[in-house]
Amino acid sequence: MGHVHLVPPPPPPPRCCRCATSLSVPDCYHTCVPSLQGTMTFGEQNSEEEAWEQLDYAVGQGVNFIDTAELYPVPPSPETCGRTEEIVGRWMAARGCRDKVLLATKVMGGSKVRRRGAGVGPAQIVAAVEGSLRRLQTHYVDLLQLHWPDRYVPLWGKNQYHASQRYDPVPFEEQVAAVGKLIQEGKVRHWGLSNETAYGVCRMCEAATRLGVPPPISIQNDFSLLDRRFESQLAEACAPHHHNIGLLPYGPLAGGTLTDKYFAGGSGPGPNSRHFPGFQPRYHSAASMAAAAEYAAVAKGAGLTLAQLALAWCASRWYVASTIIGATTLQQLQENIAAFEVELDAATLAAVDAVHLRHRNPNVTD
């Protein structure tokens, strides 16, 4: 597999799955492959033993980028919050591999799950990082992400902004200053955003410039064949000649909808996901399923599984730095990693766009 080199790049041309957009990370010589190991099911849908098995396999296949969060596992609860980081921390300690992987985590926004719903202010950011470092058994993280904005924005499939819901959030400058201090202390190497808008990206970058803090290098947003809003809403702001921020798509398989288990005699939801039938409903709406059925036909015509098509398509986008893959079984993980060896031809890409024009962003719920 090709590697993503985290060094200052020239504007990249359109690329194949084996290459990748470089992120602007001065003096950083780590590399990561086009797929990034997600962990949000570890400790809930997946046992610790299963989590270790997945991590061992992923690293053995060259995946060296692990993404977690203080919120995980999901669905979140006060009882399980932080459990995923603990599992990843124990695995890294047992394998002695901390210096061989890029480790990303996230600071959650206001939530009753932790810190009694407090916003993402400087004290909360510092407390979150200290807690994550303790659970992960490390003295630094390679990438710290703000899990979702402190201010009101439409999230989780919502698209319409309602000005009446505005409230006074923590100022951008205070958040950026707190992250900058953690970088100075060596607890955070680089930082990024998540579930963010173009407005938020620009304000964060402007604040970083004013304060002399390194700018964010990544954004982790929902992105897949069923939700391509990044193309029109964020690609310009994040382009190399503007803020030079790489996309780390989550949900590239839309919660399993973009897999063959729902089509062509597939088995349907697995036993783990059946425990959470109402989780992430945007991925399983009638509109999303109808679009996925047409993408499944495109995949079949190209001699691919639907998951291969979905992941290879994500990896082919010029603004994607690395695609987050998650799985509840080792077999799923094996298929997902192998998908990054697939290169889609022009005819298949055209067929994908034709489906998109008929079913534009069906994950959107309003």
Enzyme catalytic residues: 72
Please tell me the distance from the alpha carbon of residue 61 to that of residue 64, in angstroms, as a whole number: 9
Tokens of 84: 């995923």
Which DSSP string corresponds to 68-115?
--TT-SSS--TTTTTHHHHHHHHHHHHHT-GGGSEEEEEE--SBTTBG
> What's at 42, amino acid-wise?
F
Give long-range contacts, CB 8 A cutoff, 24+ apart: 8-15. Answer: 9/240, 9/244, 10/240, 11/239, 11/240, 11/241, 12/240, 12/318, 13/318, 14/316, 14/318, 15/316, 15/318
Q: Work out whether strand 218-220 and strand 188-194 pair parallel, antiparallel, or are unpaired.
A: parallel
* Cα three-residue angle 20-223-171, rounded to 5 degrees: 95
